[in-house]
Structure 1
Amino acid sequence: MHNRLDAKLILLYTLLVLQVFIVMIYVATTPPSQFIKKPTKNSVSFVELNTLKNEIMIKNLANKTIQPQYKKITDKIKLNDIKTLNFFKIYNGTRCWHEGIDESTIKTDNDINKYSDNKCTCKQGWHGNDCGQPEVVWRGIMSSKKNLKLKQRNKLRRIIYNFNINNYNTDIIESIIDELYHVVDLFVICDYSNENNDDDNYRHKLDKGLLINKQNKILYISLTKKIINKPTRLIDKYIWSKIFSVIKNLNDDDIYITSEPEEIINWRALMFLKIYDGWPEPIAFRLRYSVFGFFWIHPNKTKINIGACTISMVNNHLNNNKILPQNEFNERDKYNLIIGDLNHYGGWYCQYCQSPANILLSLKKINNNYLKNNQKYNRNNIDVLFIEDLIGTGLLFDGKTMLKRAYKSRDNYYAPESLLNNNYKYDWLVENFYAKLDYY
């Protein structure tokens, strides 16, 4: 018994001696405090790499003065000339549209002796001898029953894309530019919000860095109250005079497009217009009718927008004191070509695709027939919470029309591609955050 206790005491004393010895070594090797380098701002911290990158980027942006790249009416712009051949692939002497061909079935030079037919083989959804007609355009040509003689151009037409904005409908503008940036040569933003000298107009947002990487294709035009109160014909003429004075190398066969800020034209249809000669003008686009977001669609409506014509037609109308073709043609029999049908759309119209607060603002500024003629929904008793409830349930302001739910998983035209590919940025447009659980 005593031997066991002696062994334990010896082990305990040994451990105590070792602890004292370790402390002595630490004290002997540690320099005085005045020689210890204090941690700096650059010292290592264990944070997530992405978080560190974001913090560095934010600091750089804060320290760096943003230089706006958008153009004003006092600037000069030269549009690029791009060869059409850059967008075609040549197989055995045949020019095929790069996006429309099925390369797995293209015959190579070694197959020429085996096959007499040496044409382009199109992917599903593409048509034409060179596979350059997307499904939505091909269907429009077929339904028009016109014998169009389309011909590939040597150089792409340039597209001038004009739309008007106000201080309550700017939320969706960024998505339009993201979707069409690679096709449109110049976006013309006509800002009506300046009529009240609003400090929160779109110019201030551009100055603060909004769309900074895409501002090189933006021409900003401020419309004063004096101009806004003029007739449509004179407003058109004013805007066009500014565009014409800014662009140095505009051609008669370039394309001028006007649309509302809630409209996004199908970019493949626009690319078709850039590539080919032989289509009639003006051209209309049948748009899918979404409401509040792309998750709701109108059960009975689509929208037709007279969107595209050549610069030559614009000049002809304005020189003869007419309004623009887009504002003139309102009857179906005057459309030379409609791109889009009930299953394949020439674009998207997204009514009230704004934040609930901006929807409320728009209702107060616009003479809305739903509210004017409906006692149940009066402008005086509508607030943000009420609008959020309508978005969640899919009920229009008339109190009668129930919107139809769209399904992202099985709808080919649910929303523009850039919105679906940037879900983190445009989730409020593609997901219904106000939906009740009973609807899902």
Structure 2
Amino acid sequence: MGRSHLAIRMRIRRHKVFLLCLLGICVISFLHYYKALHNISLLQELSAPSTHLKSLKIFSDIFWNFPAADFRPQQDFHKHSQLKVNVDSNLILKGPPDKKLHERTFVLRDDPTPFFIHTKSGAVCFREGIDMTASASHHRLLQQHHREIKFKDKAINEVEKVVQCPCRQGWHGPHCGIPTIVYHSNLPSKSKVTPRKVPRRVINAININHEFDLLHTRFHELGDVVDVFLVCESNFTAFGDSRTLLFQQMILNGTFDYIKHKILYVFLDHFPDGGRTDGWIADDYLRTYLTKNGMSRLEGLKADDVFIIDDADEIPVRDGILFLKLYDGWTEPVGIHMRKSLYGFYWRQFGTLNVLSACTAAMLFKVYKGDGIYLRRRSYYSMSGFREYENSTGRILVPWAIGSPVHYAGWHCSWCFKPEGIYYKLISAQNGDFPRWGDYSEKRKMSYIKELIRTGGWFDGSAPEYPPSDPKEHMYAPKYLLDNYEKYRYLLENPYATINVKRNGSSFKGVI
């Protein structure tokens, strides 16, 4: 009888152990799922004041090992960061004056701009985001908070937790450094981002053909935020015909002297094998060469620097790129919601173009193999190094996009040229995006192209009804174009419209 009771007790004990283990597995699975949903560190969430989460923290500390801190890549992961560069402090482009543009290298340096200010009360505020009109009264409140905490003998870091900066319209967060296009984005960790002590360096890569007005616009929009522009030009069109190196000539004749110190010129002197038959080979190769050649000529590259690759007709908003530069805590890769336009900013298309455009240098090399075309393809999940890289960061990496379908974070202006520029794009287009309209003689006629611009029609004969747009509307066009309205009028008003439309008390040309 005693043996029977003992056997029963042993079975009960085994069942209890089994049930406890099963419960533990369920709790661990729930915590991991919770972390994946919110894209924040598990231990950070468990540190919340909630009593039940605090109890779960003890369990997770024993069985789970998730780092709570944000990923801090090694500063010397790229071979160029190990180079000892002995140059004048004002020199960024390396190489003697007679050295060819495409052979020079570029030295990346930390941006010394004081983007944040430290108040006497302990607050850290973003200069551009604070409301100066409220600063006087707010300063008195900050001083009062400071006195109360000091009187209670609290630690100085608790002052920063209490102090809030007064934000002007369009800026959010305790430091007033989160722009509206990030605040209303799908970034899960937006409430957890923190200012960096040293800004990231931003690298913007672009291929150029003849989009020079949009290139000027990009440089003026992003010139004080981007640290280096990698601009690639080829002596072949995307179709494979020879072309003049117009951008190189413009650099040498002084056209871009205002931004020349931030341009690293990339020269593609050959056309890829098979590119004439399959235009997508040529299209992909442009971005591959741009990334690999340009990045190999940067010195001092850090793992958490930001790499952004755009087409020439895609212009990100400055504030969104500045956020990537100044804040920690966002995940990657990063897309950008852009306002879509055709022929000019006056033909606004529905919705936004969300282009996956940015990641850290570490992700570029460890996941995308140093090739920007893979970033554009959205194929990170299937890349061989993705899971290893994700594990090294200690975070669940999910894509997000600056902006939203109703909050534009940039502009995509497709076929935005004068008629002569559209003609050149037609004959230069790659042999892959069929139908290739440049192959049709009637589509290349100036009269036909001008009629397309006038009506907003497309080469296939369709004429979509675009919503009416007004140059005064928010995010109509980049500020540089609006500030130089007469010079760029052909992009801001339909040059072939004949009807004057009155809207909001002002008149402008448009087509109904």
Q: Normalising to structure 1: TM-score of the pair?
A: 0.74
Q: What residue identity is the alignment partner of 1:436?
A: T
Deviation at 1:397, TM superposition (A): 2.8
Q: Check if 1:360 corresponds to 2:405.
A: no
Distance 1:177 1:113 in 2: 41
Shift in alpha-carbon separation, 1:373–1:295, aligned structure 2, 3 A: same
Q: Check if 1:151 corresponds to 2:151.
A: no
Q: What residue identity is the alignment partner of 1:388?
A: K
Distance 2:127 2:99 in 1: 31
Deviation at 1:202, TM superposition (A): 1.8
Q: Residue 361 of structure 2 corresponds to which residue in structure 1? A: 311
Q: What residue identity is the alignment partner of 2:243?
A: D
Instruction: State the SS of the aligned residue for 1:191.
Output: strand
Work out whether residues 164 and 260 of structure 1, in 8 Å CA contact, stay in contact via their aligned partners in 2. Answer: yes
The equivalent position to 2:323 in structure 1, one of 248, 256, 272, is 272
Instruction: State the SS of the aligned residue for 2:487.
Output: helix
Shift in alpha-carbon separation, 1:434–1:69, aligned structure 2, 3 A: farther
The equivalent position to 1:93 in structure 2, one of 109, 112, 122, is 122
The equivalent position to 1:390 in structure 2, one of 452, 455, 460, is 452
Q: Residue 208 of structure 1 corresponds to which residue in structure 2? A: 253
Work out whether residues 315 and 411 of structure 2, in 8 Å CA contact, stay in contact via their aligned partners in 1. Answer: yes
Shift in alpha-carbon separation, 1:357–1:318, aligned structure 2, 3 A: same
Q: Check if 1:345 corresponds to 2:408.
A: yes
- Which one has a bigger Cα radius of gyration? 1
Q: Residue 435 of structure 1 corresponds to which residue in structure 2? A: 497
Shift in alpha-carbon separation, 1:405–1:71, aligned structure 2, 3 A: farther
Q: Residue 379 of structure 1 corresponds to which residue in structure 2? A: 440
Give the 5 Å matches for 1:6-17.
none
Instruction: State the SS of the aligned residue for 1:198.
Output: coil
Q: Residue 217 of structure 1 corresponds to which residue in structure 2? A: 262
Q: Residue 45 of structure 1 corresponds to which residue in structure 2? A: none
Deviation at 1:367, TM superposition (A): 6.6
Q: Residue 46 of structure 1 corresponds to which residue in structure 2? A: none
Distance 2:99 2:354 in 1: 30
Work out whether residues 371 and 378 of structure 1, in 8 Å CA contact, stay in contact via their aligned partners in 2. Answer: no
Distance 1:436 1:303 in 2: 30
Gaps of at least 5 residues in structure 2 are 1-95, 149-161, 276-280, 382-396, 502-508
Work out whether residues 203 and 230 of structure 2, in 8 Å CA contact, stay in contact via their aligned partners in 1. Answer: yes
Instruction: State the SS of the aligned residue for 1:423.
Output: coil
Q: Residue 376 of structure 2 corresponds to which residue in structure 1? A: 326
Distance 1:236 1:364 in 2: 20
Instruction: State the SS of the aligned residue for 1:176.
Output: helix
Q: Residue 59 of structure 1 corresponds to which residue in structure 2? A: none
Give the 5 Å matches for 1:48-63.
none
Shift in alpha-carbon separation, 1:269–1:378, aligned structure 2, 3 A: same
Q: Check if 1:263 corresponds to 2:314.
A: yes
Q: What residue identity is the alignment partner of 2:200?
A: R
Deviation at 1:394, TM superposition (A): 2.6
The equivalent position to 2:347 in structure 1, one of 296, 299, 311, is 296
Distance 2:427 2:474 in 1: 35
Work out whether residues 235 and 270 of structure 2, in 8 Å CA contact, stay in contact via their aligned partners in 1. Answer: no
Work out whether residues 331 and 398 of structure 2, in 8 Å CA contact, stay in contact via their aligned partners in 1. Answer: no
Work out whether residues 76 and 248 of structure 1, in 8 Å CA contact, stay in contact via their aligned partners in 2. Answer: yes
Work out whether residues 165 and 190 of structure 1, in 8 Å CA contact, stay in contact via their aligned partners in 2. Answer: yes
Shift in alpha-carbon separation, 1:287–1:234, aligned structure 2, 3 A: closer
Instruction: State the SS of the aligned residue for 1:216.
Output: helix
Give the 5 Å matches for 1:101-120.
101-106=130-135, 107=137, 110-112=140-142, 118-120=163-165
Q: Residue 204 of structure 2 corresponds to which residue in structure 1? A: 161
Work out whether residues 370 and 398 of structure 1, in 8 Å CA contact, stay in contact via their aligned partners in 2. Answer: no
Distance 1:370 1:198 in 2: 20
Q: Residue 152 of structure 2 corresponds to which residue in structure 1? A: none
Deviations 1:352-384 (A, max 9, x none): 11121121222234379998499xx99321311
Shift in alpha-carbon separation, 1:237–1:385, aligned structure 2, 3 A: closer
Instruction: State the SS of the aligned residue for 2:182.
Output: helix
Distance 2:348 2:259 in 1: 30
Q: Residue 225 of structure 2 corresponds to which residue in structure 1? A: 183
Work out whether residues 394 and 404 of structure 1, in 8 Å CA contact, stay in contact via their aligned partners in 2. Answer: no
Deviation at 1:255, TM superposition (A): 0.7
Distance 1:69 1:397 in 2: 46
Distance 1:386 1:236 in 2: 32
Instruction: State the SS of the aligned residue for 1:405.
Output: coil
Shift in alpha-carbon separation, 1:257–1:309, aligned structure 2, 3 A: same
CA RMSD of aligned residues (A): 3.3
Deviation at 1:73, TM superposition (A): 3.3
Distance 2:229 2:183 in 1: 27
Deviation at 1:108, TM superposition (A): 5.6
Q: What residue identity is the alignment partner of 2:270?
A: K
Q: Check if 1:80 corresponds to 2:142.
A: no
Shift in alpha-carbon separation, 1:69–1:82, aligned structure 2, 3 A: farther
Deviation at 1:111, TM superposition (A): 4.2
Shift in alpha-carbon separation, 1:70–1:351, aligned structure 2, 3 A: farther
Q: Residue 131 of structure 1 corresponds to which residue in structure 2? A: 176
Instruction: State the SS of the aligned residue for 1:77.
Output: strand
Distance 1:189 1:295 in 2: 28
Gaps of at least 5 residues in structure 1 are 1-66
Work out whether residues 296 and 394 of structure 1, in 8 Å CA contact, stay in contact via their aligned partners in 2. Answer: yes
Deviation at 1:208, TM superposition (A): 2.3
Deviations 1:71-100 (A, max 9, x none): 83321221231246x111233220111111
Q: Residue 408 of structure 1 corresponds to which residue in structure 2? A: 471
Q: Normalising to structure 2: TM-score of the pair?
A: 0.64
Q: Residue 8 of structure 2 corresponds to which residue in structure 1? A: none
